[in-house]
Structure 1
Amino acid sequence: MAGEADGRFLDLRHEPGEPKRQFERTLRLRRLSKLGRMGLATEHAPGVWELNERLEPTLRELGERGDIIRNMQRSLAADGIERDPMTFRIHEGAPAMPVTGRVLDKYLANELGDNLTVVVDGIDGRTHHITNIDPMQLEDARIGSVIEIGRAEATARPSDRTIAAIAEDGIYRPSRHLEQAKFEGRVPGGDYEGHVDAHVRRLEALRRAGIAERIDADQWRIPEDFESRAAAYDAGRTRQASVRVLSAFDLEKQIGADGATWLDRRMIHGKTADFAPTGFGQQVREAMDRRREHHIAQGDATGSRDGRIFYRRSLLATLREREVARVGAEMAEGKALLFRTATDGETISGKFTGTRQLSSGKFAIVEKSHEFTLVPWRPVIDRELGREVAGIVQGGSVSWQLGRQRGLGL
């Protein structure tokens, strides 16, 4: 009909003599009546219709939405779940407000494989369909994993202002920046090389975005509108989702785990206000009740007559240490290496050989010739895989000192 319309108008007032064409006219009138109820066609006189200029793109969008809803329903059905389609939320890119829930499905959004779509059963009682996610962000998230998805934050970059200020005739030189930094003496800790290297890494990222140009090791071409383009680049990236894996394990595995789980962190800190009384929110509440019973049975908590629960002091740290000791002992048998627990305040060093997902979180494996240890993982260490690393264990985390020449703490 769109192809035959004259300036978007269709005149179907005259009934043709052939039965086949009469049938086609009847079908068209019925279809136009449907489009009219959808606001996509208008009848100006009996048999005279005007098609909305947004007819085809709107129908395509509705068709895509229908496909998305069917995909969401299949994802729920695969887990034996039913949800009211009225609770479905479809996001184009990162959601405006962070979404926390379990992964029901994740799949490639196109043939190029350059981004993923994830279906999340939220603690807010809604089912979320979120597109355009970097596959690396969901690398550790499996079906059933608990994640949080929000918008990546774009913060102001003082480094960009510094680069623009130091550049002469559109050329930024790291060597000149180093001289100026040493002369001014304002770099915390006196790590002047690390300070300049951080600016060079920023330029490298902007080079990939086509904003800066690397001429040689000591020269970068900086455009006149460098700061505004860099800010626009960061603002554009905020449309990308930022994913945090809160637990690589599903609720059932967390209930009986010997480590410090996501359920424990929520439970200990009393963060339950955002749990909906239906759907996954209700399932999390029930799982927390069972987790409390598990702690009481293990002697890690006691219940009073008035219903209050008292947990062992430093429960999260105790659980984390307990799980790390068990997993380390199991790994030692396969590695033929001695497992040693890292203590708080200790400086650990060795080769970073891989990672291990525990219910307490993700841990890095650091090996020496005769022993190895498990320490909390941070994204910054990934690029050091297979290399010698060093860091200080502090309060359940590690302050990595990467780069032997610079001693840069990250």
Structure 2
Amino acid sequence: MSEGDSDLRIQPGRIRSTRTPRPKSFINQVLRAAKKAGHVGGGAPGASGRRGGAGTPGHSTFGRGRLGFSRSRLFSPGRRVVVAARIARHSGKAFRSAPLAAHLSYLKRDGVSREGDKGILFDAGSDRADDRAFAERCKDDRHHFRFIVSPEDAADLTDFKAFTRDLVRQMEADLGTRLDWVAVDHWNTDNPHVHLLVRGVDETGADLVISRDYISQGLRARAQELVEIELGPKPEHEVRHALEKEVAAERWTRLDAQIRIAADDTGHIDLRPETSGASDPEIRRLMIGRLQHLEKMGLAAPAGPGEWMVGLEAERALRDLG
């Protein structure tokens, strides 16, 4: 979950793990695609099909317009929040195998609280919500919503529960209805986050419909606004530190979003100083470091000095990991 490029997709079913490195056949597939596109790794400039003018077919141009990486985007002082979402329908085999009550119980498991204890559900008016009552209210609904909200600076917020309540109040204003919800904050990962479950009916009892655009963009924007109101713009040294951490992150990052923009349609990216358009040495260093890490993960392959091929499924794999 850019940042602006990390649009959320509601996908039913279980997230597949991709922590195991991809087999070598993937690398061979990438290199075959590179060769087919005219990017022959290891050859000298001028080799057959390798180089040409700006209009030569197969030659990588950043954003198809030879644009350099965007420093203003990468070093934006805005506070970042990642939001993931899913609609859980109350019918079908998938829901019967993982009913709401079981999911709520899992969210309350040991070791997830800030103190390392069991998680405690909360809602609009209580720091100890009744999960069984919430599941009972939902049992005849068509669906419910599951959100994961992860501010990058969650640990710096004064009160994570108050942040969540403010966010839901803003959602209610945007959607024009009161919401029935419960949530629990988790601190058992490097990125503290809150699991927010919203009942799938509005205050009149009708099915609650939330537009895809609001889920993918609006909710994240509201969360970012709330964080920035409390913490203010992010200082540049903190932005730089966060980008350094992204080099080895096993999730979709701002660096990956810029790599996607810079790569051509085959996944080829050219970071050689004389051709890449990445005139900022700091950004180039970050990009090369990230591509080298993607190579270790089996999601990219070298295609020559300063050049890589990024797998077309790399974004999906990194988003699933995140």
TM-score scaled to structure 2, two decimals?
Answer: 0.29
More strand by share: 1
TM-score, length-scaled by structure 1: 0.25
